[in-house]
Amino acid sequence: MGSPLVKLIAQRVALGFLLLFAVSVLIFAGTQILPGDVAQSILGQSATPQAVANLREQLGLNQPAYVRYFDWLGGILTGDLGTALTTRQDIATTLLPRLWNTLFLAFWAAVVAVPLAILLGLLAVRYRNGPVDKAISGFALASTSVPEFFVGYLLVYFFAVKWQWFPPISTVYDSMPFWQKLQAIALPAAALTLVVLAHMMRMTRAAILNVMQSAYIETAELKGLRPLDIIRRHAFPNAIAPIVNVVMLNLAYLVVGVVVVEVIFVYPGMGQYLVDHVAKRDVPVVQAVGLIFAAVYITLNIVADIAAIAANPRLRHPK
């Protein structure tokens, strides 16, 4: 695991920075073509043209787009995410607890979803083409077909409104006891788990079944090993690279795809923060949140690539 591996990792990291730069350009360009005027929306429709012009100058909106982009990018590189236009608060200070809340929710959803998906995938392979496999595959297909907002509303209706086991609004704060936090995030975490569980389970099943067709699996079967031992000791370790790749992609979705779930449960995370400021046309906040989401997604994809390289000798030592 010497020079070839280091070179491949360096290539992935360099590609990640290049992608992040490209995404920053797209995010900035996308916020610039949004309809309406930020200064006008802040001051209201009754504001005079002179007042709007003065505010545009104060916010730097009268400068060329490329100047504003490089000013924004320079601030990002120095850790300055800018100032919210509507609240005049420092974005980094406001965003940090929101980011922590989103990561907290995604972490506990992953703690449930990842082991459960791998276990169900192993069971589906062990009893493939049988009732257990068909039941697990049917559940996966059904959960994949249902949009996450519908899953969220079903959970609210049954577990919060009808049975009153959990709160319908997931409010968390710093001084909140840990177990109360877990109870507060139970429903949004369950919604996220159901969204990503099926995909991870199906890909785990497919990866292990692909390995099961190898010659050394036939040799293990001829030696009289139990099917569960063959899967556990031979098939699963050799299918770990594609499984890790799928898990990382779904972990990225748990962080980036929380917007709908956070809005449904009014959870104080990044997604809710983004939606609130999109409605206000608070461009710096939208840009900062979009770039953080992109950075998380790209970083986890790089980690998935590196894990796949490390687990595959053919990638570690390319010819």
Contact 118, 250 (CB under 8 A): no
173 and 35 assigned to the same domain: no
Whether 173 is in a domain gets the answer yes
Distance CA(187)–CA(8), nearest Å, equals 40
Whether 90 is covered by a domain: the verdict is no
- pLDDT of 229-263, one tens digit each? 777 777 777 777 778 888 888 888 888 878 888 88
Domain boundary among 22, 44, 77: 77
Same-domain pairing of 206 and 100: yes
pLDDT tens digits for 145-176? Answer: 788 888 888 999 899 888 889 988 888 888 88
Give yes or no: residues 262 and 149 share one domain.
yes
Residue 128 lies in a domain: yes
pLDDT of residue 1: 45
- 114 and 70 both lie in a single domain: no
- The two tokens of residue 9 are 């990792």
Same domain flag for 61 and 131: no
Query: How high is the pLDDT of residue 279?
Result: 76
pLDDT on residue 29: 87
> What was the pLDDT predicted at 316?
57
In a domain, 88, yes or no: no
Q: Which residues contact 124 (CB under 8 A, 6 or more apart)?
A: 132, 133, 136, 137, 201, 205
Q: Please check whether residue 82 lies inside any domain of the structure.
A: no
Domain that holds residue 201: 96-316
pLDDT digits (tens, 9 = 90+) for 187-233: 999 999 888 888 888 888 888 888 877 777 777 777 777 777 777 77
d(CA 308, CA 224): 31
Domain tally for the chain?
A: 2
Crossing angle of the two packed helices 91-126 and 283-311, in degrees rounded to 10? 40
Given pLDDT bands bounded at 50, 70 and 90, which one contains residue 311? low
pLDDT above 80: residue 19 = yes
- Torsion angle, alpha carbons of 22, 28, 33, 36, to 10: 160
What letter does residue 88 receive in the DSSP assignment?
-
Domain boundary (45, 77, 109) is at 77
- Point out the domain boundary residue: 13, 43, 77: 77
pLDDT in tens, 85-140: 777 788 888 889 999 999 999 999 999 998 998 888 888 888 888 898 889 888 88
The band of 21, judged by pLDDT with boundaries at 50, 70 and 90, is very high
Q: Are residues 215 and 146 in the same domain?
A: yes
Asked if residue 141 and residue 257 are part of one domain, the reply reads yes
Asked if residue 202 and residue 255 are part of one domain, the reply reads yes
107 and 71 within one domain: no
Within a domain: 289: yes
Q: Looking at the domain assignment, is residue 250 inside a domain?
A: yes
pTM: 0.83
Please report, for the domain that includes residue 246, its CATH number.
Answer: 1.10.3720.10
Cα dist from 26 to 11, 21, 69, 294, 311, whole Å: 23, 9, 11, 11, 34
The mean pLDDT value for 269-276 works out to 87
The reply to whether 258 and 293 lie within a common domain is yes
83 in a structural domain: no
pLDDT > 80? residue 313: no
Per-residue pLDDT tens digits for 31-81: 777 666 667 667 666 777 777 777 777 777 778 888 888 888 888 888 888
